[in-house]
């Protein structure tokens, strides 16, 4: 598993505002979108491309185009949805699939309540979006799902991760082509499975509390 922790003052600045409990949902949503666009730059470093030639007003120019099959972007609902626009802005030709997962806040185990993905992901490069990588349970389940359907490689973009969760994903995906790109690697998980210092419940901060 390849892990890339973004080290850029602009990313840290935006994350700092995101973490602040005084930041309202509207600003939180705007920042989550901006952050994913910045992180996507690194996450798409190995996106498959092919050589193409275009005619400029002056001469022929060799360049690159994203090749087929198109990459697929998979936000994990709910919170991952807050990252979707920022990602598709950068890769407008990507296809989008959805996975709905919720973590039981007592057992910390994820359950999948929705899925809308192509049955066959053979040869597809998949980009999973989820702002928080805490115990890693949700991301591990999502990655397993994609590889079972034939995905070639999976890159996850997370805004904040806990070391415990990263380690769990690494163990669970051994031998697989997995990359994790994160905005910040925080200190630890607390006794109720929240990232410390983190930013609280990302879904609630984006969309409000649901009981
Ligand atoms: C959050 C977050 C991740 C998960 C991370 O979602 O968006 O999906 O928790 O925790 P884990 O690494 O311990 O699995 P949540 O289950 O709160 O659902 P929501 O997005 O609907 O708020
Ligand atoms: N899910 C969140 O939204 N935040 C955390 O800190 C952990 C899991």
The CATH number that applies at residue 6 is 3.40.50.2020
CA pair distance 162, 96, nearest whole angstrom: 27
Cβ neighbours, 10 Å, residue 168: 18
Tokens of 176: 């697989």
Between the alpha carbon of residue 58 and those of residues 52, 54, 55, 61, 65, the distances in Å are: 17, 11, 8, 9, 20
Distance, first Cα to last Cα, the chain: 36
pTM: predicted TM-score of the whole model, two decimal places: 0.96
Nearest 10 degrees: CA dihedral of 13, 18, 21, 24?
Answer: 120
CA pair distance 34, 12, nearest whole angstrom: 12
Instruction: Look at the chain and report how many structural domains it folds into.
Output: 1
> How confident is the model over 184-208, as a mean pLDDT?
97
Residue 211: per-residue pLDDT: 63
Percent of all residues in the chain with a pLDDT value above 90, rounded to a whole number? 98
Spatial CB neighbours of 6, under 8 Å, sequence gap ≥ 6: 38, 39, 42, 181, 182, 183, 184
The CA 103 to ligand 1 mean position distance, Å, reads 6
> How confident is the model over 138-164, as a mean pLDDT?
97
Pocket test for ligand 1, best of 76, 203, 205, 211 (most atoms within 8 A of CB): 203
Check if 70 is active-site.
Answer: no
Check if 45 is active-site.
Answer: no
Pair 79, 160: CB distance under 8 Å: no
> How confident is the model over 167-188, as a mean pLDDT?
98
Pocket test for ligand 2, best of 198, 205, 208 (most atoms within 8 A of CB): 198
Percent of all residues in the chain with a pLDDT value above 70, rounded to a whole number? 99
Q: Which domain holds residue 203?
A: 2-207
In the predicted model, is pLDDT for residue 107 greater than 80? yes
Check if 204 is active-site.
Answer: yes
Residue 56: per-residue pLDDT: 98
Confidence band (pLDDT; 50, 70, 90) for 121?
very high
Sheet strands (E) in the chain: 2-5, 49-55, 60-66, 72-77, 95-96, 98-103, 110-116, 125-129, 132-133, 153-161, 178-185, 188-189, 195-196
DSSP structural state of residue 81: G
In the predicted model, is pLDDT for residue 48 greater than 90? yes
């Amino acid at each position: 598993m390849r892990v890339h922790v973004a080290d850029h003052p602009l990313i840290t600045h935006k994350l700092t505002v995101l973490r602040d409990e005084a930041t309202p949902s509207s600003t939180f949503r705007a920042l989550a979108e901006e952050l994913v666009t910045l992180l996507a730059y690194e996450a798409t470093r190995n996106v498959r491309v092919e050589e193409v030639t275009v005619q400029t007003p002056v001469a022929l120019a060799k360049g690159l185009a994203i090749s087929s099959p198109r990459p697929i972007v998979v936000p994990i609902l709910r919170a991952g949805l807050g990252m979707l626009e920022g990602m598709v802005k950068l890769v407008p030709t990507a296809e989008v699939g959805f996975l709905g997962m919720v973590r039981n806040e007592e057992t910390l185990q994820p359950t999948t309540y929705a899925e809308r993905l192509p049955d066959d992901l053979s040869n597809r490069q998949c980009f999973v979006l989820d702002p928080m990588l805490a115990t890693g349970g949700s991301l591990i389940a999502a990655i397993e799902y994609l590889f079972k359907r034939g995905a070639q490689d999976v890159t996850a973009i997370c805004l904040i991760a806990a070391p415990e969760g990263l380690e769990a994903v690494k163990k669970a995906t051994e031998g697989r082509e997995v990359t994790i790109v994160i905005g910040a690697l925080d200190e630890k998980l607390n006794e109720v499975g929240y990232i410390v210092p983190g930013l609280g419940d990302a879904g609630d901060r984006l969309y409000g509390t649901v009981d």
